[in-house]
Structure formats: C-alpha cells, structure tokens
Amino acid sequence: MSAAYRHVRARRRWLPRVVWWLPRSTRLLWLRGLVGVLVAWGVGASWVLGSSRPLAGILLGRVVVIDPGHGGPDPGAVGPRGELEKDVVLGVSLHLRHYFTAAGARAILTRERDEDLSGLPPDVPDIKAIDLRRRVEIARGARADVFLCIHANATESSYWRGAQTFYRDNHPDSDRLARCIQRELVRVTRRTDRVALPGPKQYVLDNVPMPAVTVEVGFMSNPEEARLLTDSDYQKLVAWAIFLGTARYFAEGERP
C-alpha cells in the first residue's frame, strides 16, 4: 500500500470525527451543502426510503401543494420574544418547495409572501373564511397528489415542544402520509418523539380531496424551540424531514 493511499484512507476515517467536532453552525452549513448535493443528483435512497428508486424517480411529475398557514393580518401563534408563526412556516415552506422542485416534483405554494389569500382589507367580515376557501381552491385546481399544511403549535404552558403531524379522514391515505412524515421528523430532527395523530376539525384538510396533513413544526410557546424555529438552518432541517417523509409515502405506495 502506497503512502499516498494510506493518507487518503486516514483522511476518510477522520472526516466524520472532524465534522462532528466542528461548531454547530458550521456543521449545519456542511449538512446544508450535503443535502443540496443529494437532492440535486437524485441520489439512490434505499437506505432512507426503503426503495431502490432514486428520489428524483419517485417524485418526478408529482404535484405537491404546500400551504404555509396564516399570513398578512393573521400572525398565528406569537413566541415569547415576538417570533411569529406566519414567518416561521413560510420559511420552512420555501425550503420545502426547493427540495421538491430539485427532485423533479411540481411544488406549489398557496402563498409566497406575508399575505392572506382573500385579497380583501383586513376589516372585512369573514376574511379568514375566504382565505381558507382560497387555499382549498388552489389544491383542487392543481389536482395535487398531496397537500401539506405547515403550522406551528402553541399552548399556555412553555414546557411542551416537538414537531407533530396530524391528519383527518378526508382521504384513506392521509394517515399513512402523516405517519411517513412524522417518522422522518423524529429521525432527522432528533427533537421530537411524538407520533402522528388524527387532528381536530380543520376546514382546509376536511375539504381537499387528496391525501393531506398538517405538520406542526414545533411549539412557538416554548422559548428554546421558538428561537430555533426562526433559524434558517433549522428550518431547512425540518423541511428536509418533511420532504423525505413525503418521498417515503410515494415510495411505499409504489411497492408491489
């Protein structure tokens, strides 16, 4: 064995340790770059998805509607330092669209900026109902394969934390989609041990005809999690988990 080859092997052995001991912000940037490469090249993901097909093959031509909750005059939940749910979920959704698009899917956002969808002044009665109906119309008009509603949770207690996926009985496959996404949220973020559950009545999920879920990406009422949810690198990580879970859902559906 040549000295040069031994040197290369030694570098390969030490690379994971070097990455681990880098500062957290640097590790996240390294992960961001790796994720971009994996998605862009449609790398074979049998170790992630249990499928022999690459991500690009699984998602090519799929239509995914991503619905960032709230917007405009409706801020959603507000964190202890003034963090706004509407901003957090839009950030996650924009990253999520990028991942789907890079893998060959058609990803549609119900909103791309801080706005509601009614097109009306905020003092108009029933403006929220009109906004929600518009979100359903976008999903129906796109004939989406799946509908992903992105929100953030909040309670009176600051104790609770962790991302969680909810589904309704609007479609037979909504529960499977929710379980696939929740599995990846647990595995990728390592910040939640929650399970997918049936959710309460929700106009949007109850009125779209395709498999649909609401992903609560964390708790705005938890000071640590609210701060983390405003971090762009963490938003990318959450979006990556949702992306992988959705890809897993499609991969499982194609198995004989």
Query: Rounded distance, CA 232 to CA 95, Å?
Result: 9
Task: Give the CATH number for residue 115.
Answer: 3.40.630.40
Pseudo-torsion of CA 29, 30, 32, 34, nearest 10°? 170
Rounded to an integer, the average pLDDT of 77-88 is 97
| Beta strands at 164-167 and 212-219: parallel, antiparallel or unpaired | antiparallel
Query: Is residue 88 in a domain?
Result: yes
In tens, the pLDDT along 214-253 reads 999 999 999 999 999 999 999 999 999 999 999 999 998 8
Angle between helices 232-253 and 24-41 (to 10 degrees): 30
Is 193 a domain residue? yes
Going by C-alpha positions, the residue among 108, 24, 96, 20 that lies closest to residue 63 is: 108
In a domain, 23, yes or no: no
- H or E stretch at 148: strand 146-153
- Asked whether residue 137 is assigned to any structural domain, the reply reads yes
Name the residue among 11, 44, 16 with its Cα closest to residue 30.
16
Into how many domains does the chain fold?
A: 1
* pLDDT given for residue 7 in this prediction: 42
Residue 19 lies in a domain: no
Using an 8 Å Cβ cutoff, are 151 and 141 in contact?
no
| Closest by CA position to 139, among listed 245, 247, 211, 60 | 211
Which range marks the domain in which residue 101 is found?
Answer: 42-253
pLDDT of residue 4: 44
Residues near 85 by beta carbon (within 8 Å), at least 6 away in sequence? 69, 70, 75, 76, 77, 78, 151, 152, 154, 220
pLDDT at 32: 53
In a domain, 161, yes or no: yes
Q: How far apart, in Å, are the Cα atoms of 51 and each of 14, 139, 208? A: 30, 28, 28
pLDDT of residue 22: 52
Residue 118 has pLDDT above 50, yes or no: yes
Residue 31: which pLDDT band, with cuts at 50, 70 and 90?
low
- Cα separation of 56 and 218, whole Å? 28
pLDDT at 46: 40
Residue with the bigger pLDDT between 144 and 2: it is 144
Residue 6 in any domain: the answer is no
Residue 203, in any domain of the structure: yes
Q: Please give the structure tokens belonging to residue 97.
A: 């669209």
Average pLDDT over residues 65-77: 97
